[in-house]
Amino acid sequence: MDDEGIAVFATWFHNDREVSGGGTPAERYASLPELAEDERAAASRIAGARLGLHRVVAVEPGRGLVLEDILYGTGVRVGSENVSREAVLWDVLLGRVMDGDPPSLWGPTRFFEPSEEPELIGELHRLAGRVPEQSDQSELSQVLRSHSLELIRFRPPSWSVEPSFFTLEGDPLAHNTARWRVPDPAAARDRLGDLGGLDAAEPLELTVTVDRGKLVGNRPELPPRAIVIEAGAHGDLDSVPIATLRLFGDELQAEAMSEERLDRVIEIVAHDFRGLADLAEREVVPVEQRLNERRSAPRRSVATPTGLTPAEERRVLEGFMTERLRKWLDEPQPELGGYTPREAVSGDRRAEALRLVRGIENGTERARRRGAPYAEVGWIRDELGVGDELAA
């Protein structure tokens, strides 16, 4: 075992392993009559440090953190120089709180993201051998003690799932193209210009957009580690570009991010270019295949063609991310049973909505620490009326 494995095993061996005659080795040691009072007090604090499931509700890096017991809802401020440097707001911490002045953490700790909290709770219920409706807090606390070695090594099932990619409406992402032969390029050019309101000097290119609400209204629940790729129309978050049409000489070309979007564009072209374009080719390449091709290709530097400085690009991106979250508040979310976050916080889905908000704040803080662009999220609590509930 490496040092971490030894620490995990040794903590279980002394703090949780029941020995013949009752008690753990740590408890038996703390009861030895020959111990001095100060040593007995320290040993008793160590022996009483039980594994718990906590939510990080405040962090003072290098000093300590405030934890909320997920099972009992109680809070405690603990001193910790090292763990507090790793902790991020709303992390789920699996570890032991040891009594003291102030209380502190004892032994190995593990962090999980807010989205993984249900998997941890589900594992507690599984080890208890009960369905969630039948397990009470005391039973789950006993599981934390009797199965501490398994839990400190627990890997959420979602960790073994490969990322998968989807469009905003929940269709699998792919690289899709279609080509049409154009017998009369001049007529096709006029038609494309009329449809797009293009000036004579503008490129012969047209973006097909759809109202955002129509795309997200019926989105299915996506699998764990799903990544939604979204393209936005310039300056308009209510319209989503689903495909691009371009005319090159006697050929009309289309690109779309999913097979379903490509089929929709083919229908549009069949209607709007009737008699002017004949479908010649349709190609669908899964995004995983494209990613594998890129991984095997030689790396080369690609400059961004925006004409903006890195600081300007960052401001634009962070502004888009913030505005995107404002839309998110009023979009139906599959993980909330089709309710919007604004609706969910007022109903039976409040707990799930709060977990999503915690996940957003947690991810934002992680991005900030990495130096990556991040959205402004402080307003979300007040907008949803959950500021007091989430305040550390």
pLDDT in tens, 103-122: 999 999 999 999 999 999 99
Residue 302 has a pLDDT of 59
Q: How confident is the model at residue 300 (pLDDT cuts 50, 70, 90)?
A: low
pLDDT tens-digit readout, 68-90: 999 999 999 999 999 999 999 99
Q: What is the DSSP string of 251-278?
A: EEEEEESSHHHHHHHHHHHHHHTTTT-E
pLDDT of 299 strictly over 70: no
CA dist., res. 129 & res. 144, Å (int): 13
The per-residue pLDDT for 304 is: 62
285 phi and psi angles, rounded to 5 deg: -120, 115
Q: pTM above 0.75? A: yes
| Percentage above 70 pLDDT, the chain | 95
Statement: residue 350 has pLDDT above 90? yes
Q: How many C-beta atoms surround the C-beta of residue 368 within 10 A?
A: 12
| pLDDT(392) > 60 | no
The pLDDT, as a whole number, for residue 233 is: 60
* First and final C-alpha spacing in the chain: 38
DSSP-assigned beta bridge partners for residue 54: 69, 93
* pLDDT band, very low/low/confident/very high, at 229 (cuts 50, 70, 90): confident
Q: Average pLDDT for residues 182-199, to the nearest whole number?
A: 89
- pLDDT for the residue 139: 87
CA distances to 4, 47, 107, 376, 388 from 50, rounded to whole Å, are 18, 8, 10, 37, 29
When pLDDT is averaged across residues 300-314 and rounded to a whole number, the result is 77
Between residues 302 and 221, which one has the greater pLDDT?
221
pLDDT reported for residue 334? 85
Per-residue pLDDT for 3 more than 80?
Answer: yes
Residue 153, pLDDT > 70, answer yes
Q: Report the relative pairing of strands 174-181 and 278-286 from DSSP bridges.
A: antiparallel
234 pLDDT band, cuts 50/70/90, is low
Among the ranges given (140-149, 287-296, 322-331), the one the predictor scored with the smallest mean pLDDT: 287-296
Task: Share the mean pLDDT of the chain.
Answer: 89
